[in-house]
Amino acid sequence: MTHRASGSRTLDTGALSRVEGEGAMHVRIEDGHVVDVQLNIYEPPRFFEGFLRGRRYTEPPDITARICGICPVAYQMSACAAIEDAIGVTVDGPLLDLRRLLYCGEWIESHTLHIHMLHAPDFLGYDSAIDLAKDHRDVVERGLKIKKIGNEILEVLGGRAIHPINVQVGGFYKTPTRRELLDLRTKLEVGLELSVQVVELVSGFDFPHLESPHELVSADDGDRYPILGSRVVSDRGLDIPVAEFLDHIAEEHVEHSTALHAHIIERGNYLVGPLARYALRGELLAPAAREVARAVGLEPVCRNPFRSIIVRAVEVVHAFATAIDIIDRYEAPERPAVPVAPRAGIGHGVTEAPRGLLYHRYEIDEGGTVLSAVITPPTSQSQASIEHDLFHYVEDNIDMPDDELRRRAEVTIRNHDPCISCATHFLDLTVDRR
Amino acid sequence: MNEEADAVIGVGAAMRTDDALGLRVVERLVSTGRLGPGVDLVSLDGEPTRLVDVWRDRSLVVIVDAMKAGGEAGSIHRVEVGVDRLPGWMGSHSTHGAGVAEAVALAEVLEVMPARLVVYGVEWADVSFGEELTPSVSAAIDPLIDKLAQEFAS
Q: What DSSP assignment string belongs to A152-210?
A: HHHHHHHSSSSS-SSEETTEESSPPPHHHHHHHHHHHHHHHHHHHHHHHHHTTS-----
CB contact under 8 A, B92 and A147: no
Closest residue, chain B, to A149 (C-alpha): B53
CA of B73 vs chain A CAs: smallest distance (Å)? 22
> Which residues of chain A neighbour B98 with C-beta distances below 8 Å?
15, 17
Average pLDDT over residues B137-154: 95
Quote helix, strand, coil % in chain A, to nearest 5.
45, 20, 30
Closest CA to B30 of B47, B7, B14, B51: B7
* pLDDT band at residue B12 using 50, 70 and 90 as cut-offs: confident
Average pLDDT over residues B38-66: 91
pLDDT at A255 > cutoff 70: no
> Which residues of chain A neighbour B44 with C-beta distances below 8 Å?
162
CATH superfamily of B6-153: HybD-like (3.40.50.1450)
Closest residue, chain A, to B14 (C-alpha): A66
CB atoms within 10 A of CB B73: 18
Average pLDDT score over chain B:
89
The CATH code for residues A44-381 is 1.10.645.10
| Per-residue confidence (pLDDT) for residue B72, from 0 to 100 | 95
CA of A206 vs chain B CAs: smallest distance (Å)? 25
Rank A136-145, B4-13, B124-133 by mean pLDDT and report only the highest.
A136-145
B102 touches chain A (CB under 8 A): yes
Average pLDDT over residues A120-143: 93
- A9-18, A236-245, A423-432, B29-38: lowest mean pLDDT where? A9-18
CA of B89 vs chain A CAs: smallest distance (Å)? 14
pLDDT one-digit tens code per residue, A293-309: 999 999 999 999 999 99
> Between A and B, how many residue pairs show a Cβ–Cβ distance under 8 A?
59
* pLDDT band at residue A261 using 50, 70 and 90 as cut-offs: confident
| Per-residue confidence (pLDDT) for residue A23, from 0 to 100 | 54
A-interface mutation test, from B40, B49, B90, B96, most A Cβ less than 10 A away: B49
Average pLDDT over residues A188-196: 98
* Residue A251 · residue A375 · CB < 8 Å: no
- A23-32, A127-136, B28-37, B73-82: lowest mean pLDDT where? A23-32
Beta-carbon contacts of residue A4 (< 8 Å; ≥ 6 apart): none
> Which residues of chain B neighbour A151 with C-beta distances below 8 Å?
50, 53
| Per-residue confidence (pLDDT) for residue A321, from 0 to 100 | 98
A50 touches chain B (CB under 8 A): no
| Per-residue confidence (pLDDT) for residue A15, from 0 to 100 | 34
pLDDT at A425 > cutoff 50: no
Domain range list for chain B: 6-153
* pLDDT band at residue A426 using 50, 70 and 90 as cut-offs: very low
Beta-carbon contacts of residue A279 (< 8 Å; ≥ 6 apart): A216, A235, A300, A301, A302, A303
CA of A191 vs chain B CAs: smallest distance (Å)? 16
